[in-house]
Amino acid sequence: MMKFKPNQTRTYDGEGFKRRAACLCFKNEKEDEVLLVSSSRHPDQWIVPGGGMEPEEEPCGAAVREVYEEAGVKGKLGRLLGIFEHNQDRKHRTYVYILIVTETLEDWEDSVNIGRKRKWFKVDEAIRVLQSHKPVHAEYLRRLKNTCNPSCGPVCSSTNGNTLGSQVTDNNAPHYVCSTQASDLVNR
């Protein structure tokens, strides 16, 4: 199913969840500094870059595209951290990947069009910053601590920051559900 929004087509899966993709963007393989971007709705708040998938777009391709548009970075796309569901206000199903940044643009689409900012945070500081207004985004980083280390290898490779060289299969990806009562996630 699809819904049209100005300059964007929203896509939904068979269960009515909005299909989304995001990346935790790190300075290096140590995964100790993460890049957050300012929210388009609340410029004084930080978020993990990500957004809706376009029709026929693979999750890893959408993740790379969203990071390029929102954060102005390109990099090496790594493992799929998990698939996160958020049921409180809107039904979202978000594929969250790890990306090691290799190129940072001076000016990028969202910095020019909406004045979006970006900033590097230590992981624990990013969790604190996100917890109050984006608890699901904070959970991405908490989940990071409970996953395999970076030596697990890439899930799919990015050739130029926008095009992907291989497909991702997510049948065995960890799946987390955000409960409607709290921001606690339950492994599914």
- Nearest-angstrom CA–CA distance, 71 and 118: 6
Q: What CA–CA distances, in Å, run from 129 to 5, 46, 123, 141, 167? A: 29, 7, 10, 11, 33
- Nearest-angstrom CA–CA distance, 44 and 98: 25
Residue 45: closest CA among 135, 108, 123, 112: 135
- Nearest-angstrom CA–CA distance, 118 and 37: 4
Q: What CA–CA distances, in Å, run from 126 to 23, 38, 120? A: 14, 12, 9
Q: Which residue in 54, 57, 69, 109 is the catalytic one?
A: 69
- Nearest-angstrom CA–CA distance, 96 and 112: 25
69 as an active site residue: the answer is yes
**Cα–chain center distance at 79:** 12
Active site residues: 69
